[in-house]
Amino acid sequence: MHRSRSFLILSFLLAAPALADGKLPAYLIRLPASVQTVFVAETSDAAFHRFDHADGQTIEYRGREYMSIGQGGAGKQRSGDRRTPLGIYFVTEQLDTSKLHERYGVTAFPLDYPNAWDRRLERSGDGIWVHGVDPRGGVRPPRDTDGCIALPNDKLLGLEDRFLANVTPVVVASKVDWVDRGQVESLRAELERIVAQWADSLERGDWHAFLSLYDDEFRHWGMNKDEWTVFTVQTLGARAITAVTLDDMLLLGDPEEEGLYLSRFRHAVSDGKTTVKITKRLYWRRSDSGALRIIAEDSG
């Protein structure tokens, strides 16, 4: 006897664990005031969790919505595998879906897959969105997209104003690791210190200290660590840097790669005449010795 779609969906929702009071996903280490909402998509439970940061200090759980993911499940590796990627992503824009296929529903929010870590692992593909559903198709089963995350149209419209381009993170996890709020405090302090060391060594022009924060397996723009070192000293070393400032720092833990963390911040470098401002992403990986080192980086 075949189970109906509604039975399968109800089973997923009933199987979801109750959220213990005061617990948060282990990945939410530090949110700046600019980040008002973080979404955590839990692929094993078909749950799209919402966390708000309304007062710039306290992170509050606002509930969950049912979602569908890729027909191939989670853990995207290559183009066409119909899997939903796992990792840390950001909304890039909002799309007008009125002229697209009905399966995309009322609106869509593309994510920046593949990110720097995905590219580091040679994962391929693109076009991963959070979107609605065909209004004539009924409720979709838990695995029913080409790799995107699909929410019921009314639920997505209710969240529409929480998706901000180049601001809102969407953390996609196979299973959420719920922890007490205080458990991430020491990690937060450690990451804040190491990022401050990065900025301080850059400002002082201490290239030995600066480059020592990069992992031996670091890759960027097709260059290995040695090639990138030469390039960095030739470019940054040619500037008389007088000040380096950071603000709007976001710290997130990768939901699948143990010991991998993302720091994203606004970065201003001044040489006394001009100031260059960019948004920087540094991916930190904990080594066997316990030290944090930069394994990948990106901007935006």
The Cα 70–Cα 47 span in angstroms is: 14
Mean pLDDT computed over 89-94: 98
Q: What is the CATH topology of the domain spanning 25-178?
A: L,D-transpeptidase catalytic domain-like (2.40.440)
Which two structure tokens, joined as six digits, stand for 19?
């959220």
Looking at residue 57, its pLDDT comes to 77
| pLDDT value at residue 21 | 61
* pLDDT, tens digit (0-9, with 9 covering 90-100), for 180-207: 988 999 999 999 999 999 999 999 999 9
Task: Provide CATH 2.40.440.10 ranges for the chain.
Answer: 25-178
The yes-or-no verdict on residue 138 having pLDDT over 90 is no
How many other C-beta atoms can be found within 10 angstroms of the C-beta atom of residue 140? 21
CATH of range 181-299; options 3.40.50.300, 3.40.50.740, 3.10.450.50, 3.20.20.110: 3.10.450.50
- Region(s) of the chain under CATH 3.10.450.50: 181-299
Is residue 20 over pLDDT 50? no
- The pLDDT-based confidence of 144 (bands split at 50, 70, 90) is very high
The per-residue DSSP string of 148-171 comes to: -EE--HHHHHHHGGG--TTT-EEE
pLDDT of 10: 40
* Reported confidence tier of residue 259, pLDDT bands at 50, 70, 90: very high
pLDDT, average across residues 259-277: 95
Mean pLDDT of 162-186: 95
Check pLDDT > 70 for residue 258: yes
